[in-house]
Amino acid sequence: MDIQVLEDVVIKFAGDSGDGMQLTGGQFTNNTALMGADLATFPDFPAEIRAPIGTLPGVSGFQLHFGSRKIYTPGDLCDVLVAMNVAALKVNLHGLKKGAIIIVNTDGFDAKNMRLANAATNPLEDGTLEGYELIKIDVTKLTREALSDITMGVKEKDRCKNMFVLGFLYYMYSRSLESTERFLESKFSKKPEILEANIRALKAGYNYADTTEVFSSRYKVEAAKLDPGTYRSIIGNDAASMGFIAASQKSGLPLFLGSYPITPASDILHFLAKYKNFGIRTFQAEDEIAAICASIGASFGGHLAMTTTSGPGIALKGEAMGLAVMLEIPLVVVNIQRAGPSTGMPTKTEQADLLQALYGRNGECPMPVIAAATASDAFETAFEACRIALQHMTPVIFLSDGYIANGAEPWKFPKAEDLPEIKVEFAKPIEDGSQYLPYYRDEKLARPWAIPGTKGLEHRIGGLEKEDITGNISYDPDNHEHMVLLREEKVARVANYIPDQKIICGPEKGKILVLGWGSTYGAIQSAVNHVLADGYEVAHAHLRYIKPFPKNLGEILFNYDKVIIPEINNGQLVKVIRDKFMIPAIPYNKIKGTPITSSELIDFIMKELAN
């Protein structure tokens, strides 16, 4: 059989939550990474823990874009869709390219599944799929036949369907089964019957593709030309967690996480809980307020302290964040954003908490805000959040979102010795009986970090306004204004210790600058590269530091006729840029719980160029 070499492919795995689509997509991703292709993924979960089987809201999906060139996004439209039932097909049909391959499990298209998916007619028979390459497989029946002599129940055998599909795709894309066999052996080493069933189903899918003439040719994607180095596949929450561990090691401080479980931030708690050998303490509190207050206590006691949550949790933590600002102690507040308001769409992505991060506390309560751009960038951004917090004695907000948190990409990870040291100094004991001045500041306007119990360093703490230098409680109006301005200036001075803003691609001056932050990075980079290839003067700049902005940002913005700001919200950074720099920045907004695609952004840029 001929093997057709492709530059890139977008595959979507879709089915019920119990069909194992996330595991299937994850295994295909790991296999892809081992082959050296570049990739980006986008898992899409139902909001319910046990979503209704066979229904449209219950569809779980995993999209993977891989190629021999640089990959920036999980892809706009899919080349291949694996649909385990009617609902999975119905939900994802609009996201396919013309002529795409659709692989369906015919067992999921019976009368019951039709009714659950509100399908009046069977899409396999009514002409809906005309123009697509349809591959019909009774995955359920074939999996049961492959496991016929294994003494497992029917339900247990049906859980192996995803391995059959995975084996089928491994043959289709000229892959080895070895990486998944190793995974299964590790996962089910103490359950030999389940191990045998999954491996047998995996091989059955591979052999079925090999022995039946379901397609005329196989496919292959060559390794990408990435920078030399050692790579691994990483998701954003894991990368951020490693960044926090690295900052703990480089600062010489034990790490404390006070957290309350919330989607999509809980994985950081799960990840860090496994690394007690690095001196990490994780505390699952009874609520969001207790979590941050415990972290404030840990910081006061000399730990690198952090708390993780999403938008609803940030709302609850607001008063305690103000306390941390008043105390002027280091604390990292992690917000993995999701669609809101209130509970919103907890498993869908959004960038809707920027204004909350900047302004969402009572009083004048300034905090540095930084944002990760990609899954792998979450490592460096988390490390940087800790550095700023520790060296400037301030709480810092670290922003990510569900797209970054759950998405995966190759990560060229650094060596520990290549990471910069984070220098930390505690206030020294006072032996001569002189007065300790807890709000005496250095050139950064950072106050000393006094560890409780240190001789001579007794001082007042709490949320009431402090007198400058002495830290005594003060109701003096002039002192209050002075302290408000001083805390704002301390955050502003962080700009002296961060890099200048850079143009990622495109001319230093031109027609349009596309300015982004957070998870819009991939779509913007892909779109701008496309428009640049057509000869237009368009550039891309991406913000990591949002409060304070890099000192040269204004100079960059004024070098372009127009500034477009794409965001997965109703226009938040665009408001801040307009306010700060008085330019008529143009928003491009999407509020659907899904990422901005490069194709829609290309269309918008071209319209602005035409205008």
pLDDT at 483 over 80: yes
pLDDT in tens, 242-254: 999 999 999 999 9
Q: Given pLDDT bands bounded at 50, 70 and 90, which one contains residue 17? A: confident
Give the residue with greater pLDDT, 228 vs 603.
Answer: 603
- Other C-beta atoms lying within 10 Å of the C-beta of residue 136: 14
What domains lie within the chain, and their CATH numbers? 3-221 (3.40.920.10), 227-498 (3.40.50.970), 503-610 (3.40.50.920)
Lowest mean pLDDT among 44-58, 413-427, 574-588: 44-58
- Is the pLDDT at 227 greater than 90? The verdict is no
- pTM (predicted TM-score): 0.95
Mean pLDDT of 438-447: 97
Position 1 pLDDT exceeds 80: no
Which of 44, 76, 75 is closest to 61 using CA atoms?
44
When pLDDT is averaged across residues 402-410 and rounded to a whole number, the result is 96
Neighbours of 111 (CB within 10 A): 8
Mean pLDDT of 38-63: 90
What is the arithmetic mean of pLDDT over 228-241?
A: 94
Residue 49, pLDDT score: 74
Report the pLDDT averaged over residues 500-521: 98
**Are 383 and 340 within 8 A, CB to CB?**
no
Positive or negative: CA dihedral 356, 578, 599, 377: negative
Report the amino acid identity of residue 319: E
**Cβ(54)–Cβ(16) below 8 Å:** yes
